[in-house]
Amino acid sequence: MAYGSLQEFIQEQNPEYVASFVRTRVLPIYSTPDCSPYLVASANWVLGELASCLPEEMNADVFSSLLKALAMPDQVEISCYPVRFSAAGGIGSLLENEYQPPELLPLLQFITGKIGNEEDEDSMLFQLLKSVVESGNQDIAMHIPYIVSSLVSNMLKFMHPSEDPWSQAILGGLETLAAMTQTYESSKPEADEENNQATEIWLTGQGTISKALSALLQHAWLATDVPPTSCIDHLSTMLRFIVIAATNCNVFVELRLTDLLIVWADILASWNGWEESEDLSVFDCIEEVVGINNKYGFRSFLFRDIPSPPAMPVRPRSVVESIGSFVSKAILEYPSATRRACSCVHTLLYVPDYSSDIEGVGKSLAMVFAESAFSHFLALREKPCTLWRPLLLAISSCYISYSDIVEGVLEKVISGGFELWVSSLAFSYSLTCDDSPSVVSEVKLYVMTLVKVIEHLLDVRHGNATDDLARKCFVSLMEASRRLKEVNEETDDDEDDGEPGEEETESEETDSNDEDSESDECEETEEEFLERYAKVAAELEDSEVIEEADEEDDDHEIDLGSLNEIDPQKLVLSLMEKHHQKVINLVPSEAISTFLNSFPIYTSLFSKCL
């Protein structure tokens, strides 16, 4: 209570009083001979609490005093841990208030030199080191390679792979290392001729850090038959840094990336400790791992050999299968994991080369992804929400390559599942256009999926021109094709520093036409679902729908890999040339006219309805 009252009293005073109080009453304590450690600890606490109130000219003296206290050794019968702990807190408060020490290296060397001496204090020192790294000092990056190497060297002495979970000190060290790798990565100089020397220095530092981190991960994961599962988020951040640093095959082998990736993927496959703050770095690492496989094609990514006796003669899961297991479970988890997992579905299905996939890994992935995404969608189908889009598009990616198999999966989850997915996909496009950013890759995926679905519907129903589901798909396809053309033109305009075109009026007109075209009465259960969706669609605009996920990634392009080589407009042209008569019979003339405004090339095909 006394400390709290003192804090409130001082912070309520004017800046001149606070400065005078610190200068005359607090700072002299640090130069008093044989001063009580308890008094110094109290002074440290006061300085930390007043860090935001101090004038800039006093920060250097305050920092110097706290640094002196941080180095205070234990006395004969008195532990000075409270002094060092409060001093670390005070220094952290100064850094949080944007104080930039004139020299960082002495502080960094002091902290790393102390780590490993007293386990009880390591957590405090790791937290302080993390605060220094994240302080935003422009000079910090140049010291990170040295600090990481020193830190790893110390941690290897007291880090025991057999422990699971690790101690708080180890966890603090891994968190700090992860923060340092992120800080160093963000400091990479832009590539230009004038920065060649700076880039070379940075790349040398990257190599130093990656070797140290590789040694740490080898110690943690490869030195025991049962690697610990602790701290997967920070270890994934480090592994991602190592993957990025593997710029050629020799470095890939030197860093033992194949072995590390196998263990990491196995840990992911059995992961069940879902925590929102811990899992998202895993998805960043997954994207880089898929990319490096495309560069160097390590065999374990797609296939692993049956182990030799006395091990069980069972083929272990490949790296991509283990990653797929993690992703399929993540789809069912909290919203931000669902978004990232759905994005990974596209990457895992279309970025790797499955031409040598003799075990049917790609097919198996599509099946588990489709089942997870559809199961999650069914739980949300009563009310439109922004998670519809990533879930439905994840199923789309699965369907494009394995249509028959995925249709069977959807029917297995729920009777009529395929038509429910198709009708929801067609209906959700208008919500996507109105209420979410237009992402070229996503609109492209909509177009390719709808083309394939329509061809399937017409083939199965032998060209039945009264099929209401096919009509809805045609309307959505025409709208999506028009939108794809617009976003491509907007992208071209942005690249040319031009003004984006005006499309809002056209979008509203097309949406209106779409609604008119869907107003026919139908006694099918599918139509009842759509009517309920339409009743609550307005709630999406009023922010009254179920919304639990962060939408920061909504405008990020998804990686379609090999699908990027396909021209969706050519698919649309081929479909329209083949089935233009069915389009005339199925689609309202207003929707066709709007489509022809964007694509005059189709005019000759639909001249009868103009």
Position 404 in a domain: no
Q: Which pLDDT score is estimated for 437? A: 41
Position 450 in a domain: yes
User: 3-class secondary structure for 372-422?
Assistant: HHHHHHHHHCCCCCCCHHHHHHHHHHHHHHCHHHHHHHHHHHCCCHHHHHH
CA–CA separation, 592 vs 575, rounded Å? 15
- Name 83's Cβ contacts closer than 8 Å, sequence gap at least 6: 37, 40, 41, 44, 69, 72
Position 508 in a domain: no
Residue 87 is which amino acid? A
Higher-confidence residue of 440 and 545: namely 440
Please name the residue that has the structure tokens 């002094």.
83
Position 72 in a domain: yes
Position 11 in a domain: yes
pLDDT digits (tens, 9 = 90+) for 144-190: 999 999 999 999 988 888 787 788 889 999 999 999 999 999 999 88
Q: Does residue 595 surpass a pLDDT of 50?
A: yes
Nearest to 88 by CA among 57, 55, 58, 130: 130
Q: Does residue 527 surpass a pLDDT of 90?
A: no
Q: Does residue 273 surpass a pLDDT of 70?
A: yes
Q: Which pLDDT score is estimated for 165? A: 79
Q: Does residue 501 surpass a pLDDT of 50?
A: no
The 8-class DSSP code of residue 502 comes to P
CB 392 within 8 A of CB 377: yes
Q: Which pLDDT score is estimated for 496? A: 61
Q: Which pLDDT score is estimated for 276? A: 66
pLDDT digits (tens, 9 = 90+) for 296-352: 888 888 888 776 676 666 778 899 999 999 999 999 998 999 999 999 999 999 999
Q: Which pLDDT score is estimated for 510? A: 44
For the entire predicted model, the pTM comes to: 0.84
Position 112 in a domain: no
Please, what is the average pLDDT of the chain?
Answer: 83
Q: Does residue 31 surpass a pLDDT of 50?
A: yes
Question: Cβ–Cβ contacts within 10 Å for residue 491, how many?
Answer: 13
- Roughly what angle, to the nearest 10 degrees, separates helices 440-460 and 388-401? 60
Tell me the two tokens of residue 202. Answer: 């940075």
- Most confident segment among 11-25, 343-357, 526-540, 543-557: 343-357
Task: Provide the sign of the torsion angle of the four alpha carbons 155, 157, 160, 165, taken in this order.
Answer: negative
Position 55 in a domain: yes
Q: Which of 102, 137, 168 is the last residue of a domain?
A: 102
pLDDT digits (tens, 9 = 90+) for 55-69: 888 999 999 999 999
Position 282 in a domain: no
Residue 16, domain extent: 1-102
Tell me the mean pLDDT in the region 288-298. Answer: 89
Q: Does residue 531 surpass a pLDDT of 80?
A: no
Q: Which pLDDT score is estimated for 431? A: 58
Q: Which pLDDT score is estimated for 462? A: 53
Higher-confidence residue of 528 and 410: namely 410
Q: Which of 48, 81, 102 is the last residue of a domain?
A: 102
pLDDT digits (tens, 9 = 90+) for 424-477: 998 887 655 444 446 889 999 999 999 999 999 888 755 554 478 888 899 999
Q: Which of 76, 102, 128 is the last residue of a domain?
A: 102
Total domains in the fold of the chain: 2
pLDDT digits (tens, 9 = 90+) for 557-577: 889 999 999 999 899 989 988
